[in-house]
Amino acid sequence: MSGLEQRIQDAVRGQTQPTVTVLSSLLAVEDELGYIPKEAVEFVAGFSNATINDVWAVASFYPNFRFEPPAEHTVDVCWGASCHLVGAMSIFKSVLEVAGLDSEGDTLDKRLTVKFNSCLGACSQAPVMALDHHLAGRVNPESAAENVSRLLERDGHGP
């Protein structure tokens, strides 16, 4: 068994909540790997007594699942109502500019994934962004851009 298959199986079998479903199993894999490889769809189907088509139907219904390995770093920009009201749009533009992207997605060198998030759970600190899942609140376009540059410089390369 490959290391990837082992991690998938451990994530799915390691669920401790009382009700284990196709969705909870996919979420466990996404938490472990940051994406849903096709091997996971196959394993979850067997594990849940579902067909591969059923599992794909669940996986593709939820926009937060990725089907490719994530980039090295992730930046989430909150797009929820509280953040929207205090300038999420300008934060998003500024982040895209530093990343060299036109819209959400991965940079070509796979060093950065930028995505919208509908609420990062820290509305009182709006506008909010998250850098590799660490929240940064009350950002402005300049500090947001600096945060992204710092994240990319951390391992010795510039943006």
Pick 83 or 95: Cβ nearer ligand FES: 83
Residues 118, 79 contacting (CB under 8 angstroms): yes
Q: Which two tokens stand for residue 36?
A: 């849903």
Smallest distance, Å, CB 102 to ligand FES?
23
Which residues lie closer than 8 Å to 49 by C-beta, 6 or more apart? none
- In the complex, minimum distance from the CB of residue 131 to ligand FES, in angstroms, rounded to a whole number: 14
Distance of alpha carbon 108 from its chain centroid, rounded?
A: 17
Query: Which residues from 7-36 bind ligand FES, rule CB under 6 A?
Result: none
Give the per-residue contact string, 108-147, with ligand FES (x = CB under 6 A; - = no). -----------xxxxx--x-x-------------------
Residues 55-84 that bind ligand FES (CB under 6 A): 78, 80-83
Q: How far is the CB of 96 from ligand FES (least distance, A)?
A: 18
Nearer to ligand FES, 44 or 96 (CB): 96
Contacts of 15 (CB under 8 A, 6+ apart): 24, 25, 28
Nearest distance from residue 51's CB to ligand FES, in Å? 37
Q: What dihedral do alpha carbons 36, 155, 97, 72 form, nearest 10°?
A: 0
Environment class of 152 (CB within 10 Å of its CB; exposed 0-12, middle 13-18, buried 19+) = buried
CB of 25 to ligand FES, least distance (A): 28
Binding residues for ligand FES, rule: CB under 6 A, are 78, 80-83, 119-123, 126, 128
